[in-house]
Structure 1
Amino acid sequence: MKLTVVGGGSTYTPELIDGFARLRDTLPIEELVLVDPAADRLELVGGLARRIFARQGHPGRIVTTADLDAGVDGADAVLLQLRVGGQAARQQDETWPLDCGCVGQETTGAGGLAKALRTVPVVLDIADRVRRANPRAWIIDFTNPVGIVTRALLQAGHRAVGLCNVAIGFQRKFAGLLGVAPSEIHLDHVGLNHLTWETAVRLGGPEGEDVLPALLTGHGDAIAADLHLPRPLLERLGVVPSYYLRYYYAHDEVVREQRTKPSRASEVARMERELLQMYGDPALDEKPALLAKRGGAYYSEAAVDLAAALLTGSGSPYQVVNTHNNGTLPFLPDDAVIEVQAAVGPKGPTPLPVTPVDPLYAGLTANVTAYEDLALDAALRGGRDRVFRALLAHPLIGRHAHAETLTDTLVAHNREHLAWA
């Protein structure tokens, strides 16, 4: 089995390598290729990756290359974890929207749109080259904004599934609070990527007992603290929202914080410098503790589980993925990309039935889906008017004066990445 990671020079990658090494019985990789144009980073990450495999006795071969076509040739699955424009672009995404009093964030709002515009054309070019190399290869997308990027891939006919670590993070958190194995926790997880709610927490599987009310009663303070939302709100909702919902439920508070604190991008850039220095130590043969603060917790477990299910039919029978709606949420178009529990196998994911969604969540989900439609149109066809329409449609913006200003600023900051600008 050959697996390729595009964006293999990312500081995330050792987390992924550690999972591949530990879970080699689930996903028996013979060749792992790390592809990245940044030769200096790739050398550091690749060296640590080989040492991790050696320490854990993994027999697979790790190859590093800047040649995308060579890297994906014959690959059974390709994982995408790239960041067009790097941390410098992320720093911009998180700061210039604040001038209009809007949230600065790299996956939602104006910053999220900027990232989508930079990313979708690059990802589609990569996917076309993967398809030429192996039409049966699966593409697993971890590149944000995952929902929009996955929709672009599926719309172009690629064998693609989107992956996010929010659900597996909740699964691990709830399992710890309840004192059970993570495999015992099944989430009724519904919505769009970075716009989801846990509407039930079941023990044992899709038909298991819902212990969410008991979780909120017994551990509401801990859950609320993790989300940076007030416990009374969770009790009124009766569900656990993704921490990304804080950008909606506490928008003005978040903007005030972002205006007075260092950006997440600046923190991550600092951590990346430290991590890359660590990766260059020839004595280091395990992922460093600092990597846990970088983000992407449990990414490796989720990626191994998904790849194993798609390639061998093994892995967990049910997984939270991003895939076509196909009637799962009746208030959305069939070709919308939703994030829900699905049965996953070599033929791809099949979403599980979802209980009727409360209008409180359905309305916001439909609104953001409409924005994602317009965002993808802007990413594919370009043009200032399409960017404006997407920004005006986003519920975190929605005011024409802000949309006008943000459109001009977005284009000015991203001109080098926009072929039409």
Structure 2
Amino acid sequence: MKLTVVGGGSTYTPELIDGFARLRDTLPVEELVLVDPAAERLELVGGLARRIFARQGHDGRIVTTSDLDAGVDGADAVLLQLRVGGQAARQQDETWPLECGCVGQETTGAGGLAKALRTVPVVLDIAERVRRTNPNAWIIDFTNPVGIVTRALLQAGHKAVGLCNVAIGFQRKFAGLLGLTPSDVHLDHVGLNHLTWETGVRLGGPEGEDVLPKLLGEHGEAIAGDLHLPRTLLDRLGVVPSYYLRYFYAHDEVVRELGTKPSRAAEVAAMEEQLLRMYGDPALDEKPELLAKRGGAYYSEAAVDLAAGLLGGGGSPYQVVNTLNRGTLPFLPDDAVIEVQAAVGPKGPTPLAVPAVDPLFAGLMANVTAYEDLALTAALRGGRDLVFKALLAHPLVGQYAYAEGLTDRLIAHNREHLAWA
């Protein structure tokens, strides 16, 4: 089995390598190719990757290359984890929206739109090259904004599934609180990427007992603390929202906070410098503890499960993925990309049935789906008017004066990445 990671020079990659090494019985990778144009980073990450494999007794071959076509040739699956513009672009995404009184964040709001505009054309070009080289390869997208990028891939006819680590993080957290193993916990997870709610926590599988009320009753304070939301809100909603919902439920509070502290991008950039120095140590042969603070927790386990399911090797029977709606949520278009539990096999994911969704959540999903549709159109066609419309449609913007100011700033900060600007 050959897997290729595009963006393999990312500081995330050792997390992925560790999962491939530990879970080799689930996903027996014979050749792993790390593709990245940043040769110096790739050399550091590749060296650590080989040492991790050696330490854990994995006899798979790890190849590093900047040649995308060679890297994806013959791959059974291609994982995308790239960041167009790097941390410098993220720093901008998190900064200029604050000038208009809006959330500055890399995956939602105006910053998320900027990232989508930079990313969609690049990902589609990569996917076309994968299809020319190996049309049967699955594309697993971990590149944000996952919902919009996955929709672009599926709309273009690619064999693609989107992956996020939010659900597996909740699963691990809840399992720990309940004193269970993660495989004993099944989430009723519903929404769009970075706009999801845990509406049930079931024991053993989708038909198991729902212990969410008990979980909230006994551990609501701890869960609310992790989300930086009031315990009373969780009790009133009766669900656990993704931490990304704080940008919607406490928008003004978040904007005030973001204006008084260094950006997350600055923190991550400093962390990446330290990680890369550590990766260069020839004695290091395991992922460092610092990597857990970088983000992407449990990404490797989710990726192994998904790849194993798509390639017919097993994995968990049900997995949270980003895939086409196709009637699963009747209030959204069939071609919307939703994030739900699905049965995953070689033919792709099949979403499980979802109980009726509370209008409080369904309404916000419908609004953001409309924004994502406009965002994808702007990414594919370009133009100031389409960018303005997408921003006006976003519930974190929604006022024409804000949308005008944000449009000007988005274009000014992203000209080098926008062919039409």
- Compute the TM-score of the two structures, normalised by the length of structure 2: 1.00
Matched, 1:40 2:34: no
Give CA deviations for 1:359-408 in whole Å, capped at 9, x if unaligned.
Answer: 00000000000000000000000000000000000000000001001001
Matched, 1:106 2:106: yes
Aligned residues: 421
Give CA deviations for 1:43-88 in whole Å, capped at 9, x if unaligned.
Answer: 0000000000000000100000000000000000000000000000
What secondary structure is seen at the aligned counterpart in 1 of 2:140? Answer: strand
Q: CA deviation at 1:313?
A: 4.2
Aligned to 2:275: 275
Alignment of 1:89-100 (within 5 A): 89-100=89-100
Within 2, Cα distance between the matches of 1:148 and 1:389?
16
Q: What residue identity is the alignment partner of 1:55?
A: R
Aligned to 1:187: 187
Within 2, Cα distance between the matches of 1:223 and 1:286?
30
Within 1, Cα distance between the matches of 2:243 and 2:211?
20
Within 1, Cα distance between the matches of 2:85 and 2:313?
36
Q: CA RMSD in A?
A: 0.3
Equivalent pairs: percent with the same residue?
A: 88
Give CA deviations for 1:142-192 in whole Å, capped at 9, x if unaligned.
Answer: 000000000000000000000000000000000000000100000000000
Within 2, Cα distance between the matches of 1:128 and 1:100?
37
Instruction: Work out whether residues 325 and 336 of structure 2, in 8 Å CA contact, stay in contact via their aligned partners in 1.
Output: yes
Alignment of 1:257-296 (within 5 A): 257-296=257-296
Within 1, Cα distance between the matches of 2:315 and 2:23?
10
Within 2, Cα distance between the matches of 1:209 and 1:398?
40
Instruction: Work out whether residues 14 and 45 of structure 1, in 8 Å CA contact, stay in contact via their aligned partners in 2.
Output: yes
Instruction: Work out whether residues 102 and 255 of structure 1, in 8 Å CA contact, stay in contact via their aligned partners in 2.
Output: yes
Alignment of 1:1-40 (within 5 A): 1-40=1-40
Within 2, Cα distance between the matches of 1:344 and 1:72?
23
Instruction: Work out whether residues 313 and 346 of structure 1, in 8 Å CA contact, stay in contact via their aligned partners in 2.
Output: no
Give CA deviations for 1:95-123 in whole Å, capped at 9, x if unaligned.
Answer: 00001110000000000000000000000
Matched, 1:418 2:411: no
Aligned to 1:226: 226
Within 1, Cα distance between the matches of 2:313 and 2:62?
24
Q: What residue identity is the alignment partner of 2:154?
A: L
Within 2, Cα distance between the matches of 1:27 and 1:353?
28
What secondary structure is seen at the aligned counterpart in 1 of 2:259? Answer: helix
Within 1, Cα distance between the matches of 2:273 and 2:36?
17
Matched, 1:369 2:358: no
Instruction: Work out whether residues 26 and 313 of structure 2, in 8 Å CA contact, stay in contact via their aligned partners in 1.
Output: no
Q: What residue identity is the alignment partner of 1:168?
A: I
Instruction: Work out whether residues 340 and 351 of structure 1, in 8 Å CA contact, stay in contact via their aligned partners in 2.
Output: yes
Give CA deviations for 1:316-338 in whole Å, capped at 9, x if unaligned.
Answer: 01000000000000000000000
Within 1, Cα distance between the matches of 2:389 and 2:251?
21
Give CA deviations for 1:16-41 in whole Å, capped at 9, x if unaligned.
Answer: 00000000000000000000000000
Within 2, Cα distance between the matches of 1:237 and 1:261?
30
Q: What residue identity is the alignment partner of 2:82?
A: L
Instruction: Work out whether residues 185 and 202 of structure 2, in 8 Å CA contact, stay in contact via their aligned partners in 1.
Output: yes
Instruction: Work out whether residues 327 and 334 of structure 2, in 8 Å CA contact, stay in contact via their aligned partners in 1.
Output: yes
Give CA deviations for 1:282-335 in whole Å, capped at 9, x if unaligned.
Answer: 000000000000000000000000000000240001000000000000000000
Aligned to 2:325: 325
Structure 2's unaligned 5+ residue stretches are none
Give CA deviations for 1:218-240 in whole Å, capped at 9, x if unaligned.
Answer: 00010000000000000000000
Aligned to 1:404: 404
Q: CA deviation at 1:416?
A: 0.4
Q: What residue identity is the alignment partner of 2:244?
A: Y
Aligned to 1:54: 54
Alignment of 1:236-275 (within 5 A): 236-275=236-275
Within 2, Cα distance between the matches of 1:221 and 1:364?
25
Within 1, Cα distance between the matches of 2:130 and 2:183?
33
Matched, 1:119 2:119: yes
Within 1, Cα distance between the matches of 2:322 and 2:178?
27
Q: What residue identity is the alignment partner of 1:415?
A: R
Aligned to 1:211: 211
Structure 1's unaligned 5+ residue stretches are none
Within 1, Cα distance between the matches of 2:406 and 2:180?
47
Within 2, Cα distance between the matches of 1:412 and 1:102?
17
What secondary structure is seen at the aligned counterpart in 2 of 1:63? Answer: strand
Within 2, Cα distance between the matches of 1:220 and 1:189?
18
- Compute the TM-score of the two structures, normalised by the length of structure 1: 1.00
Instruction: Work out whether residues 141 and 162 of structure 1, in 8 Å CA contact, stay in contact via their aligned partners in 2.
Output: yes
Give CA deviations for 1:255-287 in whole Å, capped at 9, x if unaligned.
Answer: 000000100000000000000000000000000
Q: What residue identity is the alignment partner of 2:130?
A: V
Matched, 1:155 2:155: yes
Within 2, Cα distance between the matches of 1:302 and 1:6?
17
Within 2, Cα distance between the matches of 1:371 and 1:261?
29
Instruction: Work out whether residues 375 and 390 of structure 1, in 8 Å CA contact, stay in contact via their aligned partners in 2.
Output: yes
Aligned to 1:81: 81
